[in-house]
């Protein structure tokens, strides 16, 4: 930890760090996480139904677009969240976080599915010609679909049984796809926005930090703990 | 999306009218259960209830049988006005404090009567009319809006363009202190737009100073804006401070920023797609099912003749 910190600071902060490290998983955390991650989806579905059917404006004047964007942003947040688990574990020593990465990953897939449903059913309204043109002629849609498609094998192999069947090493290698999916997601985002790149670039920066952290670890020493993916 | 906690949402971002309390409760509930990173756009935009706004009055221009005026709340809360932020509800929030008096409008270039007008003097000679127009944004949404204003041609005739005048260039106020969006370089400020002289002289081309029979709200381009109903919305420049008659085609801001996506003409055309989306259909704000986009936004009979012989695919 922190080769840059001086001995003294390390000494002084030791008790704080120990206390952080000693923090155990709260009871029911897994369930709480699942419930919490359902909330944005529930609000999106309820808000969109109400806006479209009853003319409310929970999602503003253009609920279909706004809802579509809302779900896209949640997809990206969750993908990034899956990638922060490992650094967080190493910094805090909370190894119990590892098993919740699957929850985050599965929810990311859930949100991208809803994002796609909002796009195909509410936005394009199942105009097949348009869906096809979008996919073939509009690179940001192609990238989004590629990202979605790459998540499918990860979902399929997310069970304990599949991990055993593939073997830890192969499973780990396969699940590195998340890095690519998230990069595709950020590129898709930056192409989807009209002009203001502030948020996409913020995500790009966060990814650069997360990936940089991993690269520096890989290059320095072999991983400690069961997996660094 | 920058992660913003519910607690960071400024009170001013949430509309204060009691009618909208259910919305605030919704936000509070969302915050309380830890949905901390909800988008401010989606949450603070508008009240949940469809509120009764002012009634639209005026002469319909080019309206289709199923065209109804878009409610006041949508017209005044769903705006592209990057001078006040890039979010659709940013202008309604960030333009509140914007002062539009005093306001000068410079008319210059190839005219025999150049002048710096105080807004009142600029408006005085003209009889204001209420006209209900169709409005089509390049982003494939549309509205029907009861504007108040007068034909730009009447004002131009008074300035007396010389024979050298071929185009009209319009400029928006440049003042980053009053227009916070201009502190970011998202566009090349000040915003510039332009029309060919015949387009500017077309009786449909409207100088606007009001909507729904009221003075323009700041977020709609107060105190003076343009509306060119057969062109995509970005041609209809807001908060105008200068009208210049020029010889060469003006270089409009969106064309500067992305010339493959936004051209000078920007005539509504369902057959020429934006590179990232189709322009064949549009979503009317307040409706779910999409509508077919009409050539020249439904004003083809009045304006198509100005473009005969032009390749509209090249001159998008
Ligand atoms: C991992 C995959 C994906 C991620 C992370 C993602 C994320 C996003 C984000 C963050 C936005 C912009 C939201 C905003 O402007 O605030 C967006 C917009 C959009 N996404 Fe995705 N998306 C993904 C996959 C897809 C897929 C599969 C499709 C459909 C085939 C799709 C279609 C769209 C569309 C149509 C927009 C809106 C563009 C516009 O309004 O002009 N996305 N997405």
Write the pLDDT tens digit of every residue in A76-133: 999 999 999 999 999 999 999 999 999 999 999 999 999 999 999 999 999 999 999 9
pLDDT band at A17 (very low <50, low <70, confident <90, very high): confident
Rounded mean pLDDT of chain A? 90
Domain spans of chain B, in order of start: 14-52, 56-307
Distance CA B271, CA B155 (A): 34
Residue A85, ligand 1, Cβ within 6 A: no
Contact in structure between B304 and B296 (CB atoms under 8 Å) = yes
Rounded to 5°, the CA angle A104-A118-B8 comes to 60
Q: Pick the residue with more confidence: B28 or B66? A: B66
Q: Is residue A12 part of a domain?
A: no
Confidence (pLDDT) at A4: 52
Which residue minimizes the CA distance to atom 25 of ligand 1?
A144
CA distance A66 to chain B (A): 6
Q: How far apart are CA A194 and CA A44, in angstroms?
A: 23
For chain A, how many structural domains are there in total? 1
- Structural domain includes residue A145: yes
Percent of residues, chain A, with pLDDT higher than 70:
90
Contacts (Cβ under 8 Å, ≥6 apart) of B268:
B136, B230, B231, B232, B279, B293, B294, B295, B296, B297
Cβ(B84)–Cβ(B94) below 8 Å: yes
The predicted model gives B49-62 an average pLDDT of 82
pLDDT band at B17 (very low <50, low <70, confident <90, very high): very low
Q: Is the CB of A94 under 6 A from ligand 1?
A: no
**Structural domain contains residue A191:** yes
Contacts of B38 in chain A (CB under 8 A): 40, 43, 70
Cβ pair B136, B233 in contact under 8 A: yes
pLDDT of B20 strictly over 70: no
Q: What is the ipTM of this complex?
A: 0.83
Mean pLDDT of A27-50: 97
Residue of B nearest to A67 (CA): B42
Low-confidence winner among A1-15, A25-39, A156-170, B282-296 (lowest mean pLDDT):
A1-15
- Nearest chain A Cα to B280, which residue? A130
Check if A145 has its Cβ closer than 6 Å to any atom of ligand 1: yes
Q: What is the pLDDT of residue B50?
A: 52
Q: Spell out the residues 6+ positions from residue A49 whose beta carbon is closer than 8 angstroms to its own.
A: none
* pLDDT band at residue B53 using 50, 70 and 90 as cut-offs: confident
Report which of residues B24 and B208 the model is more confident about: B208
* pLDDT average, residue stretch B249-254: 96
Q: Tell me if B100 sits within 8 A of B222, measured CB to CB.
A: yes
The DSSP string of B209-278 is EEETTEEPPGGGTTT-EEE-TTB-GGGS--SEEEEEEESSPP--HHHHH-TTT--SS-B--TTS-BTTB-
Chain-chain contact of A56 with B33 (C-beta, under 8 angstroms): no
Q: In this structure, are residues A87 and A213 in contact, taking their beta carbons and an 8 Å threshold? A: yes
Scanning every residue of chain B, which has its alpha carbon at the shortest distance from the alpha carbon of A41? B35
User: In the numeric block, which tokens belong to residue B154?
Assistant: 């009447």
Q: What is the pLDDT of residue A12?
A: 58
In a domain, A198, yes or no: yes
- Residue to mutate (ligand 1; options A65, A66, A72; most atoms within 8 A of CB): A72
Report how far ligand 1's centroid is from the alpha carbon of A189 (Å): 6
Least confident range from B17-26, B124-133, B295-304: namely: B17-26
Cα distance between residue B315 and residue B293, in whole Å: 18
| Residue B12 per-residue DSSP state | G
> What CA–CA distance (Å, rounded) separates A70 from A44?
8
Q: Cα B127 vs. chain centroid, distance in angstroms?
A: 22
Bridge partner residues of B147 (DSSP): B131, B211
Partner residue facing A61 (CB), from B74, B86, B186 = B74
Cβ of A192 closer than 6 Å to ligand 1, yes or no, is yes
Shortest distance between the Cα of A40 and any Cα of chain B, in A, equals: 7
**Please, which residues have CB within 8 angstroms of residue A73's CB and are 6 or more apart in sequence?**
B1, B39
Q: Would you call A77 and B1 a contact, using CB atoms and an 8 Å cutoff? A: yes
- B131 CA: distance to closest CA in chain A (Å): 23
Taking CA–CA distances from A55, the nearest residue in chain B reads B50
Which ligand 1 atom minimizes the distance to the CA of B39? 16
Q: Are strands B281-284 and B141-151 parallel, antiparallel or unpaired?
A: parallel
The residues near B89 (Cβ < 8 Å, ≥ 6 apart) are A60, B41, B44, B45, B46, B77, B78, B79
Distance CA B300, CA B194 (A): 20
Are the Cβ atoms of A58 and B48 closer than 8 angstroms? yes
Give B56-307's CATH code, choosing from 3.90.420.10, 1.20.1600.10, 3.40.190.10, 2.102.10.10: 3.90.420.10
Residue A127: domain span: 65-220
Return the SS3 of B24: helix
| Mean pLDDT across A145-172 | 95
Residue bearing the CA closest to ligand 1, atom 7: A72
Token duo for residue B159: 């300035």
- Burial call B169-180: b when 16+ CB within 10 Å, e when fewer: bbbbbeeeebbb
What does the pLDDT look like over B56-104, one tens digit per residue? 999 999 999 999 999 999 999 999 999 999 999 999 999 999 999 999 9
**Chain A contact for B1 (CB, 8 A cutoff):** yes
Averaged pLDDT, B200-221: 97
Are B283 and B142 in contact by the 8 Å Cβ rule? The answer is yes
Give B34→chain A minimum CA distance, Å.
7
Probe site for chain A from B254, B278, B292 (most A CB atoms < 10 A): B278
C-alpha B21: how far from its chain's center? 29
Determine the distance separating the centroid of ligand 1 and the alpha carbon of B18, expressed in angstroms: 35
pLDDT value at position A222? 59
Residue A191: list chain B partners with CB under 8 A: 276
Which residues are CB-contacts of A143 (< 8 A; sequence separation ≥ 6)?
A184, A187, A188, A191
Average pLDDT for chain B: 87
Residue B11 has pLDDT above 50, yes or no: no
Q: What percent of chain B has pLDDT over 70?
A: 84
Q: B104: which strand partners? A: B118
Q: Is residue A143 part of a domain?
A: yes
Helix (H, G, I), strand (E, B) or coil at B34: coil
Q: Is residue A10 included in any domain, yes or no?
A: no
**Is there a domain that residue A119 lies in?**
yes
What count of other Cβ atoms lies within 10 Å of the Cβ of residue A76?
Answer: 24
A17 lines ligand 1 (CB under 6 A): no
Whether B127 has a pLDDT exceeding 50, the answer reads yes
Q: Does A140 lie at the interface with B, CB-CB under 8 angstroms?
A: yes
- pLDDT in the model for residue A20: 86
**Residue A229 pLDDT more than 70?**
no
State the DSSP H helix or E strand holding residue A102, giving kind and residue range, or none if neither: helix A101-117
User: Residue B23 has what pLDDT?
Assistant: 44
């Amino acid at each position: 930890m922190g080769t840059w910190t001086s001995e003294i600071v390390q000494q002084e902060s030791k008790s704080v760090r120990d206390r952080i490290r000693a923090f155990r998983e709260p009871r029911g955390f897994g369930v709480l996480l699942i419930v919490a991650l359902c909330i944005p989806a529930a609000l999106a579905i309820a808000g969109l139904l109400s806006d479209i059917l009853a003319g409310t404006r929970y999602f503003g004047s253009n609920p279909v677009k706004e809802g579509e964007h809302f779900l896209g942003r949640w997809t990206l947040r969750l993908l990034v969240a899956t990638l922060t688990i490992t650094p967080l574990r190493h910094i805090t020593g909370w190894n119990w976080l590892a098993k919740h990465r699957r929850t985050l990953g599965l929810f990311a897939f859930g949100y991208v599915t809803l994002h796609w449903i909002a796009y195909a059913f509410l936005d394009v309204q199942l105009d097949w010609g348009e869906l096809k043109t979008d996919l073939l002629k509009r690179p940001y849609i192609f990238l989004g679909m590629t990202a979605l498609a790459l998540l499918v094998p990860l979902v399929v192999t997310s069970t304990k049984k599949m991990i055993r069947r593939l073997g830890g090493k192969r499973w780990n290698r396969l699940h590195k796809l998340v890095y690519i999916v998230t990069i595709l997601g950020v590129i898709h985002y930056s192409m989807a926005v009209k002009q203001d790149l502030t948020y996409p670039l913020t995500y790009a920066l966060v990814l650069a930090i997360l990936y940089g952290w991993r690269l520096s670890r890989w290059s320095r020493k072999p991983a400690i703990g069961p997996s660094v993916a | 999306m920058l992660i913003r906690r519910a607690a960071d949402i400024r009170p001013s971002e949430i509309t204060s009218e009691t009618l909208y309390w259910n919305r605030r409760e919704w936000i509070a509930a969302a915050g309380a259960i830890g949905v901390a990173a909800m988008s401010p756009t989606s949450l603070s935009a508008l009240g949940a209830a469809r509120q009764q706004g002012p009634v639209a009055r005026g002469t319909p221009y080019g309206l289709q049988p199923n065209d109804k005026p878009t409610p006041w709340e949508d017209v005044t809360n769903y705006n592209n006005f990057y001078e006040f932020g890039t979010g659709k509800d940013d202008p309604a929030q960030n333009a509140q404090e914007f002062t539009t008096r005093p306001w000068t409008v410079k008319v210059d270039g190839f005219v025999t009567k150049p002048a710096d007008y105080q807004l009142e003097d600029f408006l005085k000679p003209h009889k204001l009319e209420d006209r209900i127009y169709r409005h089509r944004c390049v982003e494939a949404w549309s509205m029907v809006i009861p504007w108040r204003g007068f034909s730009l041609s009447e004002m131009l005739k008074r300035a007396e363009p010389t024979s050298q005048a071929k185009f009209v260039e319009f400029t928006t106020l440049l003042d980053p202190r009053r227009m916070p969006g201009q502190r970011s370089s998202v566009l090349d400020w000040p915003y510039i737009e332009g029309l060919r002289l015949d387009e500017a002289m077309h009786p449909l081309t409207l100088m606007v100073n009001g909507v729904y029979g009221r003075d323009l709200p700041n977020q709609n381009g107060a105190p003076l804006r343009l509306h060119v109903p057969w062109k995509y919305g970005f041609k209809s420049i807001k908060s105008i401070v200068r009208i210049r008659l020029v010889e060469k085609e003006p270089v409009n801001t969106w064309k500067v920023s992305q010339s493959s996506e936004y051209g000078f003409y920007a005539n509504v055309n369902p057959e020429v797609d934006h590179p990232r989306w189709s322009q064949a259909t549009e979503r009317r704000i307040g409706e779910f099912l999409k509508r077919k986009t009409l050539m020249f936004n439904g004003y083809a009979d009045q304006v198509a003749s100005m473009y005969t012989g032009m390749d509209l695919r090249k001159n998008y």
